[in-house]
């Protein structure tokens, strides 16, 4: 299969392009196939999954902007569903950079109308759009969003949860994926005490280059 696909291509479990991390962490719940649009070579790079609750304190919003700009400038490949307001703002920042981005909508990408701001990064071969959903799943639901988030977390090497509202869905999700043992990070703020209690490592914008180094660096906390 070509490394860059212009129309949605299906990666089946038996395909060499199918991400093995998805099988490792989702097991029997792993999708039978994944639809992909864009540069498949991005899957060979270390990735950082980004999540944030819909409700986010103002000072965490400011810190998130700073951290995401630093990630962009350091060339870190970020993956996410980019659905919550904060996540969408982060995607806008990332798409204006030069580093790879992986977007995973909570629906099929067959027949998906691409936002205009995606077209440039796709043409530059630094954007990959992935969906683990069947062609008939063309409307996002809360259930699909939950499945998508687990898919994103399974695929990524590390997880950055900017904020998880206490008692909210993101906090429950954070607790579930923390049990996987993947490196979990959050912003260094006392409103993230719930995430720090799960073992998340606090991160600040001025620490991004130290932890991630260049775009080809080994993921944070993975054996270093």
Domain range annotation of the chain: 19-211
**pLDDT value for 138:** 86
pTM: 0.91
Q: Work out the angle at residue 217's Cα, subtended by the Cα atoms of residues 213 and 219, and round it to the nearest 5 degrees.
A: 100
Average pLDDT over every residue of 133-137 = 91
pLDDT above 70 coverage of the chain, percent: 92
* Nearest Cα to Cα of residue 201 among 73, 92, 70, 67: 67
* Nearest Cα to Cα of residue 207 among 223, 191, 220: 220
Q: Considering the domain 19-211 in this protein, what is its CATH number?
A: 3.40.50.450
What would the DSSP string read from start to end of 80-93? E---SHHHHHHHHH
Element (H, E) at 125: none
Confidence of residue 218 (pLDDT cuts 50, 70, 90): very low
In whole angstroms, how far apart are CA 105 and each of 83, 137, 145, 149, 215?
8, 11, 8, 10, 24
Residues 6+ apart with CB under 8 A from 167: none
Name the burial class of residue 104, with classes exposed (0-12), middle (13-18) and buried (19+) by CB atoms within 10 angstroms of its CB: buried
Assess contact for 53 and 165: CB atoms under 8 A. Answer: yes
Determine the Cα–Cα distance for residues 25 and 93; give it in Å rounded to an integer: 29
- Tens of pLDDT, residues 158-201: 999 999 999 999 999 999 999 999 999 999 999 999 999 999 99
Average pLDDT over every residue of 68-81 = 97
């Amino acid at each position: 299969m070509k490394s860059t696909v212009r129309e949605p291509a299906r990666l089946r479990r038996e395909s060499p392009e199918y991400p093995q991390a998805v099988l490792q962490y989702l097991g029997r719940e792993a999708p039978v196939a994944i639809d992909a649009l864009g540069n498949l070579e991005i899957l060979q790079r270390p990735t950082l999954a980004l999540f944030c609750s819909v409700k986010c304190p103002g000072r965490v919003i400011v810190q998130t902007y700073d951290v995401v700009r630093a990630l962009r400038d350091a060339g870190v490949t970020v993956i996410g569903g980019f659905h919550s307001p904060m996540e969408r703002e982060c995607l806008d920042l990332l798409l204006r950079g030069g580093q790879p981005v992986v977007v995973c909508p909570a629906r099929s990408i067959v027949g998906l109308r691409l936002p205009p701001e995606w077209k440039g990064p796709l043409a530059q071969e630094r954007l990959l759009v992935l969906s683990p959903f069947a062609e008939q799943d063309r409307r996002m639901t809360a259930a699909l969003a939950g499945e998508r988030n687990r898919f994103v977390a399974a695929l990524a090497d590390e997880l950055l949860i900017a904020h998880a509202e206490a008692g909210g869905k993101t906090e429950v999700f954070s607790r579930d994926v923390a049990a996987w043992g993947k490196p979990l990070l959050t912003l260094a703020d006392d409103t993230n005490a719930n995430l720090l209690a799960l073992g998340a490592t606090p991160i600040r914008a001025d620490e991004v280059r130290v932890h991630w180094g260049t775009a080809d660096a080994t993921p944070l906390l993975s054996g270093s």
